[in-house]
Structure 1
Amino acid sequence: MTTSNYQELLHNLETLGLSSIREYVPNYIDVVNREKISLTEALLELTRKELENQRKKQLNRVIERARFPKKTSLEEFDFSFQPSINKREILDLKHMKFVEDFENLIFIGSPGVGKTHLTIALGIEACNQGYRTLFITCNELLIRLRSAYEKGTLERVLKRYARYDVLIIDEIGYLPIKKQEADLFFQLLAMRYERSSTIVTTNIVLSRWGELFQSPEIAAAILDRLVHHVKVFKITGKSYRM
């Protein structure tokens, strides 16, 4: 291959957006010549590299759209520091059977015990397996629902949040919740009930949610939708941050 042909090849690959092949070709040409690899084998190897790269990019875009505040994994979690957690039960969630069964997850514990780490890790795993996922704090969710109500777009916004296969609502109980916000929160959970999975983290035990939502009736209705199909994980260990 002449220099001009070689440069044209690299240019064509770049123009076609085949970035992985573009990076792999220079060294691979020597391998092909040395090992006398057939054209079919060479093209197969190059296209495999490109497809793998495109899959990684697509996954990164999906994870970015899920709006995780950081990236974590279950492998990074120090289960020895939190013996109150059943490690095998948590790792079993990676199979995403709870998503297929429209089951909810509730993580209860004081700040810093690893609730958010675990939910992000499960959310990223859900993205890896093709489930549409979103991470949002409870406060931000309520602000968006209240804003939609005031603008007259509540139904559209509720439907958007209801469409997610996995909706992670972080930090329920860290800020006070008004009665109107509790009503809006209930409407969202009612739309997701037995249609998708909701994961929540909270520092408030469920028996005190009547105080949190400023209405025992609304709290009971919310919990009815949330705990009908649910796995509850209560973390009683020390704070990592402390």
Structure 2
Amino acid sequence: MNVPRRTVTDQAAVAAIEQGARMLRLPTIRDRFSEIAAAAEREQQSYLGFLSELMIAECEDRDRRRAQRRIHDAGFPRLKRLDEFTFEANPAINPAVIGTLATCAWVKAGEPLCLIGDSGTGKSHLLIGLGTLAAEAGYRVRYTLASKLVNELVEAADDAQLSKLITRYGRVDLLLIDELGYLQLDRRGAELLFQVLTEREERSAVAIASNEPFSAWTKTFTDPRLCAAIVDRLTFAGQIIETGTSSYRLAHARKRRTASTT
């Protein structure tokens, strides 16, 4: 028995695709199916070829939106990317080392990273740039200032919510702590910070940026034993990058002004 073939007008087909894409929550297919169908017709693609182009477009756009959400959820104060970093403005930083870190293997392994150097030497740029790459690679990232993190911990402890807060920070794959060393922490704040660093879930990475060398961290953590324990936690099997003393910020600004006048 022959089943009669259903004929559908182009107008009805467009309406059906738009309605189906809405019901199935496929916004990219809804927005681009006409464009992709026209390209498939020009290139004389098979039906399977056309369908694969639709699926690839939807998946790629969905991955892009997920990456954007992870970057937003990370709480970066501004967007900084590694490909915007001018290594000529700070010769102390080895591009090959940063290139290795850009693979995010250290994040996957849960290893620590320390960026040590004077103010304006590019630490925050590198910290945010590496964190952005990790978010785009699918890792859950959280950025915070050291002072803000300690204030959160103290408030949570006062409200009997400390374990909940530590658990929340423990869920992220990469915790970025910026501006460690700018303020002296009292014993309670230092102990709470140490608790976060030591009680994070297994194989969770942490990266810090500090304007003080490890030898001067006793100004931030006044208890010598606690200071040594924090340094051990951050340096064990981790990468230490010294960004130096020369201002990357000023050198980068001069380079941009020179480039704009040539």
TM-score (norm 2): 0.84
Cα drift, residue 153 of structure 1:
1.4
Q: Does 1:203 align with 2:207?
A: no
For 2:135, give the aligned amino acid. C
CA change 1:201–1:6 in 2 (3 A) is same
- Does 2:49 align with 1:41? yes
Match in the other structure for 1:56: 64
Greater mean deviation of Cα atoms: 15-24 or 42-51: 15-24
Superposition deviation, residue 79 in structure 1: 0.7
CA distance in 1, matches of 2:148, 2:134: 22
**Residues 1:10 and 2:30 aligned together:** no
1:90/1:33 CA distance change after superposition, 3 Å: closer
Q: Which amino acid aligns with 1:168?
A: L
Computing the radius of gyration from Cα coordinates, the structure with the larger value is 2
Contact 2:143 2:176 in 1 (8 A): yes
Is the CA contact 1:138–1:172 (under 8 Å) kept in the aligned structure 2?
A: yes
Q: Distance in 2 between matches of 1:2 and 1:131?
A: 43
Alpha-carbon separation, structure 2, partners of 1:63 and 1:9: 32
CA apart distance, 1:208: 1.2
Number of residues of Structure 1 aligned to a counterpart in Structure 2: 242
Q: What amino acid does structure 1 have at the position aligned with 2:65?
A: K
Structure 2 CA distance for partners of 1:98 and 1:13, relative to 1, 3 Å: closer
The residue aligned with 1:230 is 238
Structure 1 unaligned spans of 5+: none
Deviation of residue 115 (structure 1)? 0.4
Q: Which moved more, 1:28-37 or 1:15-24?
A: 28-37
Match of 2:180 among 172, 175, 180: 172
Alignment gaps of 5+ in structure 2: 1-8, 251-262
> Residues 155 and 85 of structure 1: is their aligned pair in 2 closer, same or farther, counting only changes over 3 Å?
same
Q: Counterpart of 1:127?
A: 135
1:193 and 1:225 in contact (8 A); partners too: no
Correspondence for 2:93 among 65, 79, 85: 85
8 Å contact from structure 1 (residues 82, 237) kept in 2: no
Contact 1:210 1:217 in 2 (8 A): no
Q: 1:177 to 1:37 in 2, by over 3 A?
A: same
Whether the 8 Å CA contact 1:103–1:194 is kept in 2: the answer is: no
Give the AA of the match of 2:126.
Answer: L
- CA offset at residue 195 of structure 1? 3.5
* Secondary structure class of the residue paired with 1:167: strand
- Asked if structure 2 preserves the Cα contact closer than 8 Å seen for 1:210 and 1:219, the reply is yes
Superposition RMSD on alpha carbons, in Å? 2.0
Give 2:82's aligned amino acid.
L
Q: TM-score, normalised by structure 1?
A: 0.91
Report the Cα distance in structure 2 between the residues aligned to 1:165 and 1:233, rounded to whole angstroms: 21
Q: Percent identity?
A: 33
Q: Aligned pair 1:192/2:210, yes or no?
A: no
